[in-house]
Amino acid sequence: MSPSIAVIIPTLNEEELLPRLLSRLLEGEDRVEQVVVADGGSTDRTCEIARAAGCDVVECAAGRGRQLAHGADSARAEVLLFLHADTVPAEGALEALRTRYQDEAVQVTSMSQRVEAKGVFFRAVERFADFRSSRLGMVYGDSGLGVRHAAYASSGGYKDLSIFEDVVLSRDLRRDNRIELVADARLLVSPRRWEKEGALSCTLRNWMLFVAFLLGRDPERLAKHYEPHSHNS
């Protein structure tokens, strides 16, 4: 029997991209059972769009870790799927996840990343993202972390962090679980962050912040170097 899926989406002024994602999640034969939009104080029509689409909307102070934790608290399905507003599951991706979770041994998954842009650089980004998820057990927010509700709760869930909340949760989950890349579950990712900042400068900055995080630097201080350049999603 296929498990139920709840999708949790952190948002902050995402009225432009959110409708496409919600349409994919809530329409069609493979639609999910619940969508929770965890909003961090949008001043545009994000919450209005989410409610009109039939989502559960949770509002709290901005901060991805905080928003994701609040969203997960409102989720009722067996499997939680955390997606950013600038990502969209490709055709067949949700069904591929359902099929994989029919195996009760599967506890944590990631999706295969596909950046919606041409070029060798983006193909390399995709390959590294899939390698990082499947081999290193680090599922970033744009790789579609899926986790059984019980395993999420046992891990302690998302921490109240503004950056690298996904790295910390991946670390906590892999202590007791194998993180599996579901290759047939493709996640389409917007190139907007690379286009806005420049592909190389964006990537180098993120790597530098990640190294600093691994060396023990305060995540909230690091977030000050990240937030001005990024969207909440």
- The CATH architecture annotation of domain 5-191 reads Alpha-Beta Complex (3.90)
Rounded to two decimals, the pTM is 0.90
Which strands sit side by side in the sheet containing 87-89, from one edge to the other? 56-59, 34-39, 5-11, 79-82, 145-148, 108-115, 179-189, 87-89
Region for 196 from its dihedrals, namely left if φ exceeds 0, alpha if ψ lies in -120 to 50, beta otherwise:
alpha
Instruction: Compute CA 81 distance to the chain's CA centroid, rounded to the nearest angstrom.
Output: 7
Percent of the chain with pLDDT over 90: 77
pLDDT band at 224 (very low <50, low <70, confident <90, very high): low
Residue 222 has pLDDT above 80, yes or no: no
Q: What rounded mean pLDDT belongs to the chain?
A: 91
Among 157-171, 178-192, 208-222, name the most confident range: 178-192
More confident residue, 228 or 219: 219
**Quick check: 212 pLDDT over 80?**
no
Alpha helices in the chain (DSSP H): 18-26, 46-53, 64-73, 93-100, 120-134, 149-155, 165-173, 192-197, 199-214, 219-226
Average pLDDT over residues 152-164: 92
Q: Are 116 and 142 in contact (CB under 8 A)?
A: no
pLDDT at residue number 211: 75
Mean pLDDT of the 129-157 span: 95
The model's confidence at residue 227, banded by pLDDT at 50, 70 and 90, is low
In angstroms, rounded to a whole number, what is the distance separating the alpha carbons of residues 160 and 150? 20
- Indicate the domain borders of the chain: 5-191
**Interior angle at CA 61, CA 60 and CA 66, nearest 5:** 80
The whole-number average pLDDT for the span 165-177 is 95
Mean of pLDDT values over 44-55: 98
